[in-house]
Structure 1
Amino acid sequence: MASDTGSSYTGACHPAADPDVAAAHIAAVRAFNRSYTRVVGALRHGVLGTDFSLTEARILFELATFGAAEVVDLRRVLDLDAGYLSRILTRFQAKDLIARKRSDVDARRQVVELTDTGRAVFTELDKRSQQDIGELLHPHSPAVRDRLVEAMAVIEAILDGENPGGTPPSGRADTVAAGSSTPGDRNAAPGAPVTARSGAPVTPSDAAATSGSPFATARPESAVTLRDPGPGDHGWVIQRNGAVYAREFGWSREYEALVARIVADFLNCHEPHRERAWIAEHRGAPVGAVYCMQESPDTARLRVLLVEPTARGLGIGSTLVNACIDFATAAGYRELALWTTNAQTAARRIYDRAGFHLVQEDPQFLFGHNLLGQRLCRPLTGPPASR
């Protein structure tokens, strides 16, 4: 997040605040910026007790981690002004930290790489950074550190993600939404965890996030694991369904109560070989869930599909739906059904791709709104779900 001085000046050269964003939200982000830059020492003259600025340290990190780079690529990755970067590289060369040469591919392009001196300098910077962050975290318990890392991941996913509005980025394999649940009557042994990947290639910037360096800014390739619910997970499903649907659709507590009844029925009466639930995990935190429950001896029902808003775009919705299809098929059902509404348009696209078709649609007043209730079905003896 960019540094913010907190100045109250509102002269003509400063753009007005976005009228669609609450002033309290803007103030909270600015306050966090001021606090965070102080904690990590970004306002000091030199980073980590050295003469290097934060930008200079970041350039050293790029060259140390990914090797020689064309200047134009370095400028693009770090979003730096060409003249500013040129002056930094000139200083680096004067200190024998880098060497320059012409590109073998295009002589008009310049390539820079660290010298032995430059690599030694970066090694010392990285060591100091590890020590500083270790001292920052040491007073806190492992549980608090886990909460901190999870909170940082949420901030990163929201502000640095490719799809801040919730629309999956182009090129991704799957569309994800906070899916539907199934109002109405309720109703194979657990298998190995399922792993889903986004399908996006790992870039050098992605790899940087796995190095442990504080200079890394991008996220690694996103991996999502499906597992059986553990203690507290069913309560999380109820709470998150209520919160997400209230915020995104304005649904009343009637919906949360419905989810609570569905989950309670599963816990009290489910048959392990005919019914199952999954929790989707990303970076060690739950980000989605779905239940497969018995409607009749021949029909299973997909229920309470949910994907956290911050985890959309990772293919979680399709992965959860396909897990239900595979389980219901193996359990001997001939059909998989679900109930949704016309409000769940993104989830409907997932269902359509998975082979579900509309069999019934009725206007209903539910959760404080006039909705079209939709029953979708998919035969389990036909072609497999689209992956």
Structure 2
Amino acid sequence: MESLIQERVMKIRQFNRFYTNIIGLINQNILESPYSLAEARILLEINNAATCTASSLVEILQIDPGYLSRILRRFKKDGLIEAVRSMTDGRSQILNITEKGRATFRQLSDASSSQLVGLLEQLPQGAQQILVHNMAAIQYMLSDKADTSITIRRHQSGDTGYIAYRHGVLYEKEYGLDHRFEKYVLQSLIAYLEDPSKGEIWIAECCGIIVGFIGIVEINKRTAQLRWFLIEPEFRGGGLGRKLVETVMEYCQQKYYNHVFLWTFKGLDAARHLYQSFGFNLTEEKENDTWNNQLIEQRWDVMLNAD
């Protein structure tokens, strides 16, 4: 786990260096203006704040006090801001932006927007949307109010295609299954969509990203099959699998099924322990050469609501 954390730390630092180079934070002046993006940000905070002091800027921007002091002296000299003594604290000075400061800030803001327009215009429309979406996700996940808990919802339009896609990608990567397995999953989902009232699919999400899913399909009035159970690798081992199976089993109890079964592969020990904890028992094993020559399929069954 420690090595995984270190790997992620290095990737974040690599991104920081890349992004800082692209945007030109601190050192790069905005087009023909003598002011940098950092200075424009300070003007923005002074302009937006009802009451602004140097100490509040240090706290908001996490900026070095000495560096900020030099910038504020320059702003005063250039006539962009003025300082008046606080009526409530004689030791503090309130920073106010002047009309010249507001005009300068508008010019800096327009120039900055022009830079970003130039950056975006190098990308196709779809790539622009992905870029903006991922930036919003980073901002959300790192904000103080971010809710990174996992939620579970019923499936919506488009989910079934994504389920087939992720099965195809992960099962090829982790078990060596080829396109025939993806076709098998897709066909089962198409059959479900023919009559979605005969079952249900649940989708697990974290910050709006799908991280797992599970489904149940009615075989007859008393029997149902658990299907399409998959957890993204990064979210395994944290209890999400148990939560999804609990959701399915509660549904089966409500529907008064007395028999639930599933098919899986031999060697998936974590899944085996999970199924056993819900009362499933191994009832059948057989070779399946359809997707992989060394694959052993297993059937697990559990009885519910016994009369």
Q: TM-score range by the shorter chain?
A: 0.5 to 0.7
User: What is aligned with 2:229?
Assistant: 304
CA shift, 1:87, in A, is: 2.6
CA shift, 1:256, in A, is: 10
Contact 2:58 2:68 in 1 (8 A): yes
Alignment of 1:204-353 (within 5 A): 227-229=156-158, 232-239=161-168, 241-242=170-171, 251-253=174-176, 261-270=184-193, 271-277=195-201, 287-296=210-219, 297-298=221-222, 301=226, 303-306=228-231, 309=234, 328=251, 333-334=255-256, 343=270
User: What is aligned with 2:288?
Assistant: none
Given the alignment, which residue of 95, 110, 123 partners 1:127? 110
Aligned-residue identity in percent: 22
Matched, 1:138 2:67: no
Matched, 1:96 2:16: no
Q: TM-score, normalised by structure 2?
A: 0.59
Residue identity in the other structure for 1:237 = R
RMSD of the TM alignment (CA)?
5.7
CA distance in 2, matches of 1:172, 1:34: 27
* Structure 2 portions without partners, runs of 5+: 286-291
Is the deviation greater in 54-63 or in 144-153?
144-153
Which structure features the higher share of helix residues? 2
* Structure 1 portions without partners, runs of 5+: 1-17, 164-168, 180-193, 195-224, 349-356, 380-387
CA distance in 1, matches of 2:4, 2:214: 41
CA distance in 2, matches of 1:378, 1:115: 75
Is the deviation greater in 45-54 or in 230-239?
230-239
Residue identity in the other structure for 1:85 = L
Contact 2:141 2:148 in 1 (8 A): no
Larger Rg: 2
Paired residues in the alignment total 275
CA shift, 1:92, in A, is: 2.4
CA shift, 1:263, in A, is: 4.5
Given the alignment, which residue of 62, 78, 103 partners 1:79? 62
Shift in alpha-carbon separation, 1:35–1:334, aligned structure 2, 3 A: same
Alignment of 1:33-52 (within 5 A): 36-42=19-25, 45-52=28-35
CA deviations on 1:158-201 (whole Å, 9 max, x unpaired) are: xx9559xxxxx99958357xx9xxxxxxxxxxxxxx7xxxxxxx
Q: TM-score, normalised by structure 1?
A: 0.49
Shift in alpha-carbon separation, 1:343–1:61, aligned structure 2, 3 A: farther
CA deviations on 1:223-265 (whole Å, 9 max, x unpaired) are: xx9732268524432245448xx6xxxx533699877744531
CA shift, 1:46, in A, is: 1.8
